[in-house]
Structure 1
Amino acid sequence: MDWYLKVMKNYFNIDGRARRTEYWMYFLVYIGIIILAGILDAIIGLGLVGLLVALGHLIPSITVGVRRLHDIGRSGWFLLIGLIPFIGWIILLYWAVKEGDPQDNAYGSNPKAA
């Protein structure tokens, strides 16, 4: 939960780097919240809760994705590759599971060393 809260506290922050742990733990908690919102929507009969949860997590999901790309030495603009169906998703998935740069890069120091 600490990783999720760290991302939510850095709501608009695209500076620095995000470790794999930070990225994947955020999305694990986010998926759980989306599932709960879907169940709540099914009970209530509206699609409003899921929509509000998705909108509330849109910016943090983008910013943690940008910081994750920074960790492997890529610009955050590479996140737009995800707009290419299938191929773009596979490339982004590969970059998301790839080990970060062990040394400092143009986007900051190694978060594992800190």
Structure 2
Amino acid sequence: MDEYISAVKTCLNKYADFTGRAARPEFWWFVLFWVVVLAITGMVSRYLYGIAALALFIPMLAAGARRLHDTGKSGWFQLLSFIPFFGTLFLIYLMAQPGNTAANQYGEPPSGTPAAAMDIAPGQQ
């Protein structure tokens, strides 16, 4: 539960920060938060859903860009989601890949959280 709260806080604190890197667990915990918030607000009212969707749009894009940076890809790869079906599937595939364990052009690997250690694929240590 602490990892979930930490990931959500990190993504909200980096509201419009498209630089740096985000570990897999940080991104996917934030996606879960995003889905739950939008589902709950959607059940309550369209107005609340619209406010929540607008409020979380930029942090979701920023977290996605940082996640792609962790795999060595540009954040602009998020534009693949405009390609119906296959673009979105390929983007999910990219987001699910393990991050680079070494520094890349986007910075040092995410550190300071146990989540970063989970991003190392077996045999890469």
Q: Please, what TM-score do these two structures have when normalized by structure 1?
A: 0.90
Note the C-alpha offset of 1:86: 0.8
Q: Whole-Å Cα distance in 1 between the matches of residues 66 and 105 of structure 2?
A: 12
Q: Whole-Å Cα distance in 2 between the matches of residues 33 and 98 of structure 1?
A: 25
Deviations 1:55-77 (A, max 9, x none): 00000010000000000000111
1:35 to 32, 39, 44: 39
Q: Whole-Å Cα distance in 2 between the matches of residues 16 and 26 of structure 1?
A: 16
Q: How does 1:11-90 map to 2 (within 5 A)?
A: 11-41=15-45, 47-90=46-89
Query: Where in structure 1 are there 5+ consecutive unaligned residues?
Result: 42-46
Note the C-alpha offset of 1:51: 0.5
Name the % identity.
Answer: 34
Query: Where in structure 2 are there 5+ consecutive unaligned residues?
Result: 111-115, 118-125
Residues paired across the two proteins, number: 108
Q: CA RMSD in A?
A: 1.0
Note the C-alpha offset of 1:29: 1.1
1:5 to 5, 9, 14: 9
